[in-house]
Structure 1
Amino acid sequence: MNARIRFAISVIILGLLMTGPFVITALLIWAGAKAPERAMLVQLIVPHLSLGAMMTTFGFVLGLLVIRYLFRQYVQGLLKMAESLRLMLTANRNFRVVGEGPPEVRQLAAATNDLAQQRDGLLDDVETQIAAAKASVEEEKNRLAALMSELAQAVVVCNLDGRILLYNSRARLQFRALAQGSTTLAGGGALIGLGRSIFSILERNQIDHALEVTRQRLQKGAGTAIANFITTARGGQLLRVQLVPVLSIADDSPSDAISGYVLTVENITRNLEQESRRDQVLQSLTDGSRGSLANIRVAVGNLMDYPDMEAAVRERFVGIVSDEVVRMSQRLDQTMNEFADSLKTRWPLEDVLGIDIIAAAQRRIEEQLGLPTKTEEIDDALWLRAESFSLVFSICCLAFRLIEHYQIKELRFRLQPFGKLAYLDVIWAGHAMSSETFCTWETEPMQVGSEHSPLSLRDVIDRHGGEVWYQRDKAAHCAFFRLVLPVAIPETLAEPEGSDDSQVRPEYYDFDLFDFRDQSIDLDRPLADLSYTVFDTETTGLEPAAGDEIIQIGAVRIVNGRMLRQENFNELVDPERLLRAEGTRIHGITDDMVRGQPTIDAVLPAFHDFCSDTVLVAHNAAFDMRFLQLKEESTGVVFSQPVLDTLLLSAVLHANQDSHQLEKIAERLGISIEGRHNALGDAVATSEVFLKMLPLLEQLGISTLRQALEASQKTYFARVKY
């Protein structure tokens, strides 16, 4: 029974106890008295009724105060203690009951704290044993997460419903690059995420067909059940997808039962464009050469068939042959140039030891050209950012030309660092060369013996972002080519905002989702089975209807009972108005920070995509939702999903607590808030609070979304409107 109802009943009983006996006694005396006696009673009692009523009222008020005191000390005190006990049992084991009120309640609080201390000792022992037992399992999971995170290929694992349960960093970056329009905001978009559907990225019918192909191969006992297909993503990008089934490991499942699938995705748009360009170039060369050859064949045939033709006619046929040969030569040159451009765009630059480049060049020069080589002043630990094959071929080409033109007897190599660059010197003793000769060598296509390349030395050096020059050392009686190349510097990735150093690997996997099926929002579904978007806003003020605007939206997702810190939404918004100084002192956002940022018309559609198919959660959600609702007409974005409010849920769970501010709730639940009055920081804190509330709600019998919404609306704070 509600405490207020019990208090009201106690007051009624007090009134009955104080007035009931007097009234009953008077009625009994009145009923047994005769007429003269009744008249005498009236004459005796009526003059003193006011005094009696006053004394009765005074006694009633005094009794009411006593009851109110006892009620607050014992009933409400015990209810508050019960709420604290629930906190200790579920959400915050470090929470302790405050010893307040009469001696009996304080003794009960002390005994409760002693029991909690003993329980914590037992729990510590149990948790230590569980942690030891789980150590090997966690190690395997972390090892898998590390391997998946570092793979160069985009990998996505899904269950049979197409819900994503694992993806690596490469997949996240690749699908973010494929995102179009509003989903490119906030660095996350809505394309990929745990629990989201892969069918928002890839066509469902193609995946279903690939699954059917793998099933047929499994039934036939094929050694490898793999399916491949090419599909078009948003924006017209072409993707090559390989599907490998994940077989069920359940004891009662057939050996060929599929529980999910692994997708490896490669963007082949650029490769196909380059191949198409080469095909067009070759087709143009073939078609043009065919016509020229036909003209040459006719002209040569006429020259051979009619040796005595007139000189003018002969000259015309010879001119035809000459013109067609020139055209073919120009066409070949153009084709080689375009092919060289295509080659340059395909070069991958990789980190390689400089000494390995020199060793490979030495080996090739000695074996193919028969020229002795030596090294001097080599930095063995110097790493270069280079494409090995083209760089080694360039060095061999220089050696070949030095042998061909100057008959050098030996070649020496030198490698030294110079800041962020490296000097690779190719040194020889003998004749000096002119700058014109070097310029010719630098720009002509390269050649080493019978091997030819359409690229020039300048093409190779430009591709590396370096320089090359010829230099004479008169004091040492030698000359050298100096290749200036970039030094390989390990990339230092910026740490994402709001990251936790304790989380070494991103939270890109959750294998419990293998059994996760329908994700639609149903009011009668258990709270633990739903996905949530917990969000918060920072605004220019507290009056949405008076023109205040949103200046920041931050949100995180909760999937399968876990907050996904990596899958967050964090976007500043240009309110197109000046901020108030008092607001800046609270949230720290200045005019310079929001000026030039996307407006609310661009941010709201992106946020709507981010939180699709999820229940919204916020603290004092009525305030944030009012800002979103006022923008429905101008943006066309409507947030129609259910909304849970941690403020109202706290009033349900802790009706006898003094405060329901986010800081106080977090303190009760043992949660530390970082980045307060920052939208993303508050959203993270609210999500942690909400996750701690779920088992407390379960204890009260509130297990479904409908029950949580109905209980929230019965609280006093649900009446607040903005």
Structure 2
Amino acid sequence: MKIDAHQFAVALAPGALLALLGLGLGAIFAATLAPDERAVLGEMIAPRVPLLVLGWAVLAIALGALARRAHAIWVTEPARLAEAAQATAAGGAPHRSAPPAEAACGAGARALAGVVDELARQRDGLRADIDARVQEAARGIEQERSRLAALMSELTQSVVVCNLDGRILLYNNRARLQSRALSSVPALADGAELIGLGRSIYALFDRELIAHALESVQRRLLRGAPQPSAQFVTSSQAGQLLRVQLAPVRDPSAVPGDAAQLSGFVLMLQNITREFEEDAEQDRLLHGLTEGSRSSLGSLQAAVDMLELPDLDAPTRERFLRVVHDEVRAMTARLQSLAASASQGLKTRWPLEDMLGADLVQAALRLIEARSGARASAPEVDAGLWLRVDSYALLQALASLATRLVDEFAVKRVQLRLRRAGERAHLDLVWAGTAISTETVTSWESSPMTVGDRASPLSVRDVVERHGGEFWFQRERALQTTFFRFLLPLAPPQEQLEAAAVLRSESRPEYYDFDLFQPGIQARELDERRLVDLAYTVFDTETTGLDPSQGDEIIQIGAARIVNGKLLRQESFEQLIDPGRSIPAAGIPIHGITPAMVAGQPGIAEILPIFHAFANDTVLVAHNAAFDMRFLQLKEASTGVRFDQPVLDTLLLSAVANPHQASHELEAIAERFGIAVLGRHTALGDAILTAEVFLRLIPLLADKGVHTLGQAREAAQRTWYARLKY
């Protein structure tokens, strides 16, 4: 049992004061006596010192006990009562009366406990009345929400809504299912490491790809387009091919007329991997058929040549020659037509977007200057020209070529030109002075593109073929300039409308939190961030024993996430783990995990990287976190997985928020907050219980002046429990 320093000091104080008082009075009395009187007094007292000390000890103990009793009645119990009242105020559950024990408190404290209990009951009654009124008023709204949620869940297309920081604030059930297909370990993580409220969409997509699409949409908004969107095709980390359409979410608080003020974006995802693979297989078969037919035609042509030998009679030779030549021409025409159709289908299969050419040029100028360091300008641009392009890939091609000109030929200035050329458009990258060889151009065209420190699997030739265009370089001797030219397809001119329609999403799926639209939170340092603003992964482990340094292993990990002050029960992580050793029989009744349950389960080396991805970009929370973190830290060397994010411990935080409580065990804290204890001693059950406790502790910590992560960590380390080691 931990010794209460305050009560220990209170118990010793009366004896110390009595001793000081006795010594002081004795010294004063002795000072009034003559020397011979003091000698006589000393002779009288000397044999009676043990009796005086015994009397002092008995009196000191009695006074100390009385003082300790008074301290408990008038100091400790009122403080505990105040903390219990705070817990009642912070808890969402109805208040359950727990007055101080009769023997441990005075009449005033008992009366105060009764008043607090009565106020809590009145509050619960008012809360119930308000809840009933709110539920009645919101019943119609809830019905509409349910209908819209049902519609969203039935959509065959995956929908994800993000704020401008790329944090996911809404996704439908289709997106959740698709994240499983995109996961590299779908059987274990179920896609939970990729998609979830508050998670970053950049776990799925390249940040620059999204930034480019947003920039394209914003330019169209500024021109007054009513419902602009951008689309692109990309691959996931698991190798799946995705077609993505991005649309903006307008900021409702923007100044009227500011059409480009965005608060987020909507992504509509379609997995086209199977479709693309099937088409690729058809292309392969078609290509083989075409090449094989051409070979047959060569053999047939050789036979025709043989028929022209002079030993054949003239009518026969003439008849065979006419038939063979006719068939050759017909087959050649058919095969050429089929090959052209297949080639065109392959080119158009990759989705291209209609884009104003001037917008593409402006984006290219900014990208070239940012990545290559060269000064870029565009003196010749047809302002009314619309192109059908994969703008992201085309911009990467222009920036890659400009970067190579700067790095290998020290070109300082480039220009872009865009003009119509019949049914196509010419997009030129122009520079002056330095000429390059045809071999160099061929090498640049066929090698993978590199822009800064980023490499692309595509080459310039791939980009050109994607557009069904052409690419060459040319010198203008009169102007002493050289240019690369892209031949690009045109798009029909689009009508420019005034911005009148705002893109809205009226669907309300199961997984959403629109409060995450608030931007800028991620820019601040973690220790300076408020506890209410952070995202948390609350976790717990079940183990074979209590001594990780002596070979005990993790047999289950459970975790839940807290985002924007809400516990996301539907976004949880729970996994049994084969410990590679026996499970002691004494622990099975506690955690309920038998050897048969972990047999065939993955090992810790396979699970920790998945759990690390699930907890990425969050603060870890656990009860008695030193125990759980020790198990994780001992696996760093063997797995290569390091959990280096901040960690908060609800055991320590409870001691900060309620320093006068006798117990800070998880069940005791939950009881003070009125939280039902379900699934105790299962990893996920304990994690959810810890998360609910943590949410109740945050406002109590704020009352203690603990508002930020840094303040919480510092306060926790000052508690007595922080000295526990494993």
Aligned pairs for 1:554-593 within 5 A: 554-593=558-597
Please state if 1:532 is matched with 2:522.
no
Match of 1:629 among 633, 637, 647: 633
Partner of 1:27: 27
Aligned pairs for 1:383-462 within 5 A: none
Question: Per the alignment, do residues 548 and 138 of structure 1 end up closer, same or farther by CA in structure 2, a change over 3 Å counting?
Answer: same
CA contact (8 A) 1:558 1:564 kept: yes
For 1:236, what is the secondary structure of its paired residue? coil
Aligned pairs for 1:340-355 within 5 A: none
Match of 1:700 among 694, 701, 704: 704
Partner of 1:641: 645
- Distance in 2 (alpha carbons) for counterparts of 1:148 and 1:134: 20
Question: Per the alignment, do residues 235 and 115 of structure 1 end up closer, same or farther by CA in structure 2, a change over 3 Å counting?
Answer: closer
Partner of 1:652: 656
Structure 2 counterpart of 1:186, one-letter code: A
Match of 1:236 among 236, 239, 259: 239
Deviation sequence 1:607-659 (CA, Å, 0-9, x none) = 11110111111112121111111111111111111211222222233333333
Q: TM-score, normalised by structure 1?
A: 0.69
- Distance in 2 (alpha carbons) for counterparts of 1:17 and 1:286: 109
- Distance in 2 (alpha carbons) for counterparts of 1:651 and 1:299: 97
- Distance in 1 (alpha carbons) for counterparts of 2:222 and 2:326: 67
Match of 2:718 among 698, 714, 721: 714
- Distance in 1 (alpha carbons) for counterparts of 2:46 and 2:306: 152
- Distance in 2 (alpha carbons) for counterparts of 1:183 and 1:159: 26
Please state if 1:69 is matched with 2:69.
yes
Aligned pairs for 1:216-295 within 5 A: 216-250=219-253, 252=255, 254-289=258-293, 292=296
Question: Per the alignment, do residues 96 and 313 of structure 1 end up closer, same or farther by CA in structure 2, a change over 3 Å counting?
Answer: same
- Distance in 2 (alpha carbons) for counterparts of 1:575 and 1:5: 42
- Structure 2's unaligned 5+ residue stretches are 340-507
Deviation sequence 1:527-577 (CA, Å, 0-9, x none) = 111111111111112221111111111111111111111211111111122
- Distance in 2 (alpha carbons) for counterparts of 1:97 and 1:582: 34
- For the aligned residues, what is the CA RMSD? 3.5
Question: Per the alignment, do residues 547 and 659 of structure 1 end up closer, same or farther by CA in structure 2, a change over 3 Å counting?
Answer: same
For 2:512, what is the secondary structure of its paired residue? coil
Deviation sequence 1:262-309 (CA, Å, 0-9, x none) = 111112222223223333434444454456567768878997999961
- Distance in 2 (alpha carbons) for counterparts of 1:658 and 1:233: 52
Question: Per the alignment, do residues 278 and 11 of structure 1 end up closer, same or farther by CA in structure 2, a change over 3 Å counting?
Answer: closer
Aligned pairs for 1:119-130 within 5 A: 119-130=123-134
TM superposition shift of 1:36: 2.6
Question: Per the alignment, do residues 212 and 314 of structure 1 end up closer, same or farther by CA in structure 2, a change over 3 Å counting?
Answer: same
Please state if 1:97 is matched with 2:90.
no
Partner of 2:117: 113
For 1:523, what is the secondary structure of its paired residue? helix
- Distance in 2 (alpha carbons) for counterparts of 1:673 and 1:136: 33
TM superposition shift of 1:660: 2.5
* Percent identity of equivalent pairs: 48
Structure 2 counterpart of 1:103, one-letter code: A
Aligned pairs for 1:26-65 within 5 A: 26-65=26-65
TM superposition shift of 1:321: 9.3
Aligned pairs for 1:176-195 within 5 A: 176-180=180-184, 185-195=188-198
- Distance in 1 (alpha carbons) for counterparts of 2:16 and 2:586: 56
Structure 2 counterpart of 1:98, one-letter code: P
CA contact (8 A) 1:299 1:321 kept: no
Partner of 1:515: 518
Please state if 1:167 is matched with 2:167.
no
CA contact (8 A) 1:148 1:167 kept: no
Q: TM-score, normalised by structure 2?
A: 0.69
CA contact (8 A) 1:183 1:609 kept: no
Question: Per the alignment, do residues 289 and 30 of structure 1 end up closer, same or farther by CA in structure 2, a change over 3 Å counting?
Answer: closer
Structure 2 counterpart of 1:48, one-letter code: R
- Distance in 2 (alpha carbons) for counterparts of 1:645 and 1:262: 36
- Distance in 1 (alpha carbons) for counterparts of 2:268 and 2:216: 17
Match of 1:212 among 190, 211, 215: 215
TM superposition shift of 1:109: 1.8
- Distance in 2 (alpha carbons) for counterparts of 1:94 and 1:115: 10
- Distance in 2 (alpha carbons) for counterparts of 1:96 and 1:15: 38
Structure 2 counterpart of 1:544, one-letter code: P
- Distance in 1 (alpha carbons) for counterparts of 2:557 and 2:272: 35
- Distance in 1 (alpha carbons) for counterparts of 2:277 and 2:12: 87
Structure 2 counterpart of 1:653, one-letter code: A
For 2:675, what is the secondary structure of its paired residue? coil
CA contact (8 A) 2:224 2:259 kept: no
TM superposition shift of 1:13: 4.9
CA contact (8 A) 2:13 2:64 kept: no
For 1:57, what is the secondary structure of its paired residue? helix
Structure 2 counterpart of 1:68, one-letter code: R
- Distance in 2 (alpha carbons) for counterparts of 1:516 and 1:598: 39
Structure 2 counterpart of 1:698, one-letter code: A
Partner of 1:674: 678
Question: Per the alignment, do residues 673 and 97 of structure 1 end up closer, same or farther by CA in structure 2, a change over 3 Å counting?
Answer: closer
- Distance in 2 (alpha carbons) for counterparts of 1:172 and 1:521: 31
Q: Which has the higher contact order (CA 8 A, sep 6+)?
A: 2
- Distance in 2 (alpha carbons) for counterparts of 1:153 and 1:615: 32
- Distance in 2 (alpha carbons) for counterparts of 1:271 and 1:183: 21
Who wins on radius of gyration, i.e. which is larger?
1
- Distance in 2 (alpha carbons) for counterparts of 1:554 and 1:121: 36
For 2:707, what is the secondary structure of its paired residue? coil
Structure 1 counterpart of 2:562, one-letter code: I
Deviation sequence 1:293-332 (CA, Å, 0-9, x none) = 677688789979999617997999799899999x99xx9x
Question: Per the alignment, do residues 578 and 99 of structure 1 end up closer, same or farther by CA in structure 2, a change over 3 Å counting?
Answer: closer
Question: Per the alignment, do residues 37 and 579 of structure 1 end up closer, same or farther by CA in structure 2, a change over 3 Å counting?
Answer: closer
- Count of residue correspondences: 548
Question: Per the alignment, do residues 38 and 697 of structure 1 end up closer, same or farther by CA in structure 2, a change over 3 Å counting?
Answer: same
Deviation sequence 1:643-678 (CA, Å, 0-9, x none) = 112222222333333333222222221222222221
Question: Per the alignment, do residues 24 and 293 of structure 1 end up closer, same or farther by CA in structure 2, a change over 3 Å counting?
Answer: closer
Deviation sequence 1:197-233 (CA, Å, 0-9, x none) = 1112111112111111111111111233111111222
Question: Per the alignment, do residues 532 and 250 of structure 1 end up closer, same or farther by CA in structure 2, a change over 3 Å counting?
Answer: same
Structure 2 counterpart of 1:675, one-letter code: G
TM superposition shift of 1:20: 4.4
